[in-house]
Structure 1
Amino acid sequence: MILYHGSNMIINEINLNKCRPYKDFGQGFYCTGIKEQAELMAKRVARIYGGDPYVNKFELDENIYKAKELNIKKFESPTGEWAIFVLNNRDRKFQDKNSIECNNDNKYDLVVGPVADDDLALLFRTFTRGLIDIDTLIKEMKYKRFSNQYSFHSKKAIKYLKLVGGN
């Protein structure tokens, strides 16, 4: 499977320490199977940090899903469980790091699931402020369009990614 990572540089070696925390699935190296999505991210990163947009192309060894040494969490669709997981990972005040409802401690080597884009921000804020309940959140998410992301959180998982080109 081919995955893309939008950046402002060629990523020859993935350094998890350089990845930003408080992302959808925790601090990790994020990729997508949609090149256009990675291109948009590359432009955004270059605009914020300087440099030129660059889309790194990786091949994912699909044997990763059979690897016994990896703890993989996969969300097939946006569900209540997924929404709580994303909200907990993004919340700088979330305390229960050992909870299965977050990945702030990188308990999952790989997490796959929908992207919580800016379009969901208002809906998530409405939920976290207690203005809607989880059932309403789930119902409203059904009207949104989602794309998938793959986040790698350990060196063990990154071994299954191979840089094969870019731009």
Structure 2
Amino acid sequence: MEHGKVELYHGSGQIVEFPEIRKTKYTKDFSWGFYCTKSYEQAYRWAGRKHGQGIVNVYSYVENEKLNIKKFENMCDEWLDFIAECRIGKVHEFDIVEGPMADDTIWNFVNDFLNHNISRSVFWEYAKFKHPTHQISFHSIRALECLEYERSESVNDDTME
């Protein structure tokens, strides 16, 4: 059964017609990968915050059930442990990981938890009033093949020369 197409967004400083997985100095929530979100606002913020001239890249995504996909429906202990492991550089076998994306405030709590400054129960006490946004990360060439580039939109049109 073919799933419907979902529109995904990637905030960047450039047009990304051909997404790729880059190994960087710092690992992200779900390790190295190409990150997108279902939230246009989130991608808009990513693009605008990190770059003077931001671009929101738009893709259509069709899930391939043959891939190894991990989905976290919400923030839970398994999600927290998974992020903790990715953050210290452990790699995983998933093609695609989908789940909540913590905002900067929750990140401070995650870091406090990772540094053993707060306990797990205190983390959940702090985090329970926060509403994370969505992220989906692609970790293999086969995963990237599920994405089809549609278009790019400039974030700060008013500042363009």
With normalisation by structure 2, the TM-score equals 0.83
- CA offsets per residue over residues 129-153 of structure 1, 9 Å max, x none? 3343223322332111111100000
- Percent pairwise identity: 36
Partner in structure 1 of residue 158 of structure 2: none
2:104 maps to which of 118, 130, 140: 118
2:39 matches 1:34:
yes
| Deviations 1:74-133 (CA, angstroms, capped at 9, x unpaired) | 0000011111111221125xxxx4xxxxxx2x4110000011221113312332333432
> CA distance change for structure 1 residues 21 and 129 in 2, over 3 Å: closer, same or farther?
closer
Residue matched to 2:60? 59
Preserved CA contact (<8 Å) 1:16 1:28: yes
Give the 3 Å change call, closer, same or farther, for CA 125–12 of structure 1 in structure 2: closer
CA contact (8 A) 2:11 2:46 kept: yes
CA shift in 2, pair 1:9/1:19, >3 Å: farther
Q: What is the aligned length?
A: 148
User: In 2, are the aligned partners of 1:6 and 1:56 still within 8 Å (CA)?
Assistant: yes
Residues 127 and 72 of structure 1, relative CA distance in 2, 3 Å threshold: same
Q: Does 1:9 align with 2:6?
A: no
Could you tell me which residue of structure 2 aligns to residue 100 of structure 1? Answer: none
> Equivalences for 1:125-140 in 2 at 5 Å?
125-140=111-126
Give the match for residue 145 of structure 2.
Answer: 159
Going by fraction, where is helix more abundant, 1 or 2?
1
For 1:90 and 1:22, the matched residues in 2 are separated by 6
Unaligned runs of at least 5 residues, structure 1? 98-103
What TM-score comes out, normalization by structure 1 length?
0.80
Determine helix, strand or coil for the equivalent of 2:51.
helix
Letter of the 2:105 counterpart: D
Counterpart CA distance in 2 for 1:129 and 1:109 is: 28
Q: 1:19 to 1:110 in 2, by over 3 A?
A: farther
Residues 1:125 and 1:17: Cα distance change in structure 2 (over 3 Å) = closer
Question: Structure 2: which 5+ residue stretches go unaligned?
Answer: 1-5, 154-161
After the TM superposition, list the runs of 4 or more consecutive aligned residues in structure 1 that deviate by more than 6 angstroms: none
2:88 corresponds to: 91
- Equivalent residues of 2:32, 2:139 under 8 A apart: yes
The one of 142, 146, 152 aligned to 2:132: 146
RMSD: 1.8
Task: From the superposition, tell whether residues 135 and 13 of structure 1 become closer, same or farther in structure 2 (CA, over 3 Å).
Answer: same
